[in-house]
Structure formats: structure tokens, C-alpha cells
Chains A and B, each alone.
Chain A
Amino acid sequence: MKIVGVSGSLRRDSYNTRLLEAAAELLPEDVEFELLDGLKAVPPYDEDDDLEPAPEAVARLREALAGADAVLFATPEYNSSIPGVLKNAIDWASRPLMTNPLRFKPVGVAGASSGAFGAVWAQEELRKVLGALGARVVEGTVPVGHAPTRFDENGRLIDEDVREQLSALVKALLAAVEERRETSPPEPVAA
């Protein structure tokens, strides 16, 4: 089983990236984790450029998502919503809609912000966007408010309440993958 982590923040010391790293440590040993980088290289979505072959960064993005059994997102909140760079990457990944690599794929959403609310609106927004492109968005949010206080100077998660919430989300994600394997569709649904 493979989980891909996507951070909505490009910043080197991003709390959201650290959150994904903390989530990776909660995975069973036989589950592979890949932290996706390269969102910065994804060009602005333009349907005129949405051709075969896709731009290299887009092809890498789609391939990474296609190879995942589940995807865990961690998003900061910019102006009450998700960062443009994350939305842009998702927009590329979602095309064409009926065969996009996230269709029916279990996805989980967490989020960290330096403010009090822990990117709750961004997480809600991201859940909506992922649902619209057909992903199986598992229940549970992980709102990490006052993010600078939740990690140590080495970027390691030190808040046990957050770790517990993250663990619950990871478990829900793994359960959704198992359920999907057990109830494989009798016929392809992407008509």
C-alpha cells in the first residue's frame, strides 16, 4: 500500500509539510509514504496546454497520484481558502474528470495555521473540491491552530492531541483503502 502526501504549502519549514511527516510516522511499516514535491513547478492551468503529452511537472503529479492507494493532504489557509498553488495542482490532476487519478480514491484532509482556527475553512474548502472531482473524502479533520507551538525546533510534532487526531485520520484513510480493495467494482465506473 502506498500513501502520497500533498502539502499545500511550498515553504521550506512548512508546518503542513511537517504535519504530513508526522502522519507518515503513524503508518504501519508495510505502508509506503511518498511526500509529493514539485507543486511549484506545475504551470498555471490553461486548457490550451492541457494536451498529450502533459507538461512534465503535471505528468509527474498525475503519475504520483495514480500510483497512490490514498492521498493525504495538509493545507494552510490563505484568505479563508486553500492556496492557489494547491488548487492549481488539483485542477490539473482532475482533468479529464471521468478518468482523473483521484476519482473514487480515498483522500484525507488535515491543515495547520499559525492562527487559532487551524485552517478549518481551508480544510472544508479542500474537502468540497476533492468531492467535486470524485474522490472518496474520509471523515475527520485535523485543525492544527497555533502551529508554531505544536512543533519543536527540529520540526517534529510535539502535541499529543494533534497526533491523536492525525492518527484517527490516518486510520480512517487506511480503512477506506482496505474497504475499496474488498469491494472492487464489478465493472469500471469511469464510463
Chain B
Amino acid sequence: MNTEEMTMTSVPVGTWALDPVHSNVSFEVSYLVGTFRGQFRDIDGRLVVDSNGRAILEGSARVASVDVKDEQLAGHLQTPDFFDAERFPEIQFRAEGIDVNSGQIRAQGEITIKGTTKPVEITGTLTPPAPDAFGNERIGAVLTATIDRQDFGVSWNAPLPTGDMALADEVTINAELFFTKAD
């Protein structure tokens, strides 16, 4: 297998299942004087590439699995002020047609948060196939996308004495994904 060529030109053909244990989907947003981060523990996804090289990447995250360092805050994030886990239990992502150039990924996809679907551009890197200790073939992807949470009605905020708002609207989503070849 010519690994170098694969990183240069395309996503490797096959169905690649997400390894949800080692993968990580997180978000970061400016808050007050720094960056606040959280993640979704319960995630799923797959990458399907047909013999023509057409790739489809899909993934989802359970809103109720939102994980931050304070249980009360995690509870608030699930409510209608933020993600509204009762009505919209899942965040979904899908991209068809993924450009790979020298291991760099670029794709136009759609993300659905709180019932609203918007186009989103993802960029990142693809790690070429490599065998793991159990004889499975794996690839990795590190992806990032930026969204405006107001576009999805995730609109909670708190005014500061200065008149500014405590929480920024721009949110960066980071995904560090491990895939195992399924067939």
C-alpha cells in the first residue's frame, strides 16, 4: 500500500466506523476572559468511501451526554436555554464530497443543532491508514469547524456590567476522530 499517495489524493476506499472511545468531539467558545471548553461523551459516526472515491462523512452526538466540569452547568446546557435535549436529543453532521490534498481535508457539510440545519465548512487533516495492535486497519482525522450558535437558537447569554455579553456567539467545534475499517 502506497501510504503517501493516499494522503496526497483521496480518502481510502471502504467503510470506516468511528471508534467512540478514543475519538473526541468538543467545543470551545470565548467566555469572559478566556476560552471555555466542553465535549460530548456519546458520539457516533462513520466514513464511507466508494470505489469512485466518493466520500460521505456522517456523525452524531447525544446532547444529554454534554460533559463539562460542573454538573449543574451540564444540566443547564441540556435545557431550552441551550441545546434543549428533550426536543432535540441529537446533534448531527453530514458531508458529501471530501477534498483531500497532501493530507489536508476540506469539506462542505451540514450540521443540525437544536433542529436547525445549516451549511458548515470543515477543515483538518487525515492520517493515512495504519494497522493497530489487533490487525485492524485504522485512519484518523482531526477536523474543525466554526459556527455561530445564534444561527441555531442556542442563544443564552448574560450581560456584563460593561454592556458586553459574557459568552461569545462564535463556537469552534473540534473533532479528533479514530476510524476502524469495517469492510
Contact = CB atoms under 8 A, between A and B. Distances in A.
A137 B80 contact: yes
B81 interface: yes
A interface residue count range (under 10 / 10 to 19 / 20 to 34 / 35 or more): 20 to 34
A104 B80 CA distance: 7
Q: Which of A131, A135, A180 has the most CB of B within 10 A?
A: A131
Interface of B: 64, 71-72, 74-76, 78-81, 84-87, 89, 156
Given A98-B71, A131-B156, A185 B89 contact: yes
A136 B80 contact: yes
A180 B86 contact: yes
Interface in A157-191: 179-180, 183, 185-187, 189-191
Given A104-B86, A189-B86, A97 B78 contact: no
Contacts of B72: 97
Contact of A189 (B71, B81, B89, B156): B89
Contacts of A103: 79
B159 to A, nearest CB: 10
Q: Is the interface of A mostly helix, strand, loop or mixed?
A: loop
Contact of B64 (A136, A137, A187): A187
B79 A104 contact: yes
Contacts of A101: none
Contacts of B64: 187, 189, 191
Given A103-B79, A134-B76, 11 more contacts: A97-B72, A104-B80, A131-B79, A132-B81, A133-B79, A135-B80, A137-B80, A185-B85, A187-B89, A189-B64, A189-B85
